[in-house]
Amino acid sequence: KGESCPFRCINRLDRDTSGALILAKNALSAAILSVQMRNRQISRTYLAVVEGIPRQSGTISAPISRAADSVIERRIDFENGESAITHYQLLEVKNNHSLLEIHLETGRTHQIRVHMASTGHPLAGDAVYGPKNCIKSLNGQCLHAKELGFVHPRTGEWMQFDSPLPPYFTELLTRLRKEHRA
């Protein structure tokens, strides 16, 4: 529309994570949506490809803090970390990689990446928390914010949005399925 509009991001994604974001068009909407986020009223569903085969489902409840020697890296820290809770469900296993559906109760920086790595199942392509021999040709970790749901700040209507998988993610799934059959 050619209108000037400040950037009011309600949720955030790690660099190299694809998917849906909520952007507010005005300060009032941003405030209302921020309260929803703080009160855990915004539903977030992620898809991730991880190394290995985790249990069928689980909840990871482990506090996260910044790693002492890094501005970027986070770690599990039961003494000084902030509460972090991640739920996951195994959807598919191919060629020693697993496709997971993940739901967050909290939203700490790198939460999914740190939690999955702590279980021995880092995200495929994660150069920070994953194995050094991670899958080549990926544009980052295989983590995608698939769905977002929230109450519209003006109408009060429940809104649900779905973000299609990016090409590199679907190509990896296709490649893993082919390797599995071979």
The catalytic residue positions are 14
Question: With helix as H, strand as E and coil as C, how does 33-53 read?
Answer: HHHHHHCCCCEEEEEEEEECC
Helix or strand run (H / E) with residue 87: strand 85-94
13 with 84: CB under 8 angstroms? Answer: no
Q: Apex CA 77: angle with CA 105 and CA 125, to 5°? A: 70
Nearest to 144 by CA among 162, 161, 165, 129: 165
